[in-house]
Structure 1
């Protein structure tokens, strides 16, 4: 059975864009696309006319229309569809449990305000066991140049901590024959804010920036070896990770960030870096869970 890429479809322009983006990615990676429309009959406690049969037919039509559009543009695509009688979040989490990735459409407010990430999108990104890709309507354009631009990946922590994130980024860059920009943002320890002399001492032993560059190179080494065809550029910068990544990915085809899996009394969390780039990135964003 082919590896699967799951897409949530609801008939909106954003979900159709997500389906189109997923189709292109699936063809490149030889993946199967599974379109999911979650529809649960819930009579409203309001004085409005509801037609259950008509709504059920519309649910099927949404999938059929999306399927026809995708197969028209990608006749070689392996594709299946399913209407699931459940709410969107649990339905998509179940469907994506063993998937290679989950793709979601996200509404946007424009270049300045960025994404409008709804509560369902946040829940899915925070809880999914696979990478989740967030797509705006304009990111789903078909044809030449649709996915042009380098793949930008944010690297944090050590070799093991960033392995899943880098694996996804290198796989994507290799499939697209695109260059990869690996970004590591760093900040000064609090003590340096009050002790300029400590900075001078650190510089004498190599400095903090060389340390960060070495850490990035160490994390990249196994993936450079595995994917020698991928042209890699490194970028190490002092500053907030969110701001550094957004600046580096201004002309990117895809931005890849990690989400550390943590147990919390408040439930699953996206993380501050992923939250920032999801709301303000100019390109599609992939959030990869890791331990």
Structure 2
């Protein structure tokens, strides 16, 4: 065999060998799906409508009161329906003149909002707008213990803008009459009833103990997420919303998420006179 023939045979061998190589398969799209969320459903637990042996005690549902120490030297704003009290002064933030006076009173201050038992979130929209725009920082006091929670106030538009930010998690506590729905950018944290909230009410009370456990599961899943938003229904008492914020703490001064966002209703503009 001459040199030219040998060279041709070698080229053919290389080409055939290359054609026999297996092509690398592209990774199937299903492998790119996000990791599934953990679940609050306990294996072997009875169905939600099955009778339970006994009603849980208040301690089993509420758990220990956890939070941050009350902020020193904070300006206290006590709620009383659509009015608020700061020291000896009373304001009705829905009135433009009172809102302007209150803005001057709280400007540059750390403010501690102290809820009563009967003020609903829908009554506080003008107040929280003033505090968001004028106060240095805002804390919400727990109604049952000497702790409080620093909050970032967002109205409905601010909340929507936050949701549109590109960031992992976007964790929300949707506070409903029947419990807490823990929602993320990849779906809802499953609870004992797939058709119900993640954390149903127990014995007619909000289950802060299980809420805390659910938030711990979310922290384990979204390790880099630093903030979480509490979104109460606007017919919720502010005191109840404050209690829910305690679910973010595993011990005094030890939050699961560093930034607590609190969503309040956007104030309704008065109709123009004509």
Q: Same fold (TM over 0.5)?
A: no
Which has the greater radius of gyration? 2
User: Using CA pairs below 8 Å that are at least 6 residues apart, which structure has the higher relative contact order?
Assistant: 2
More helix by share: 1
TM-score by length of 1: 0.29
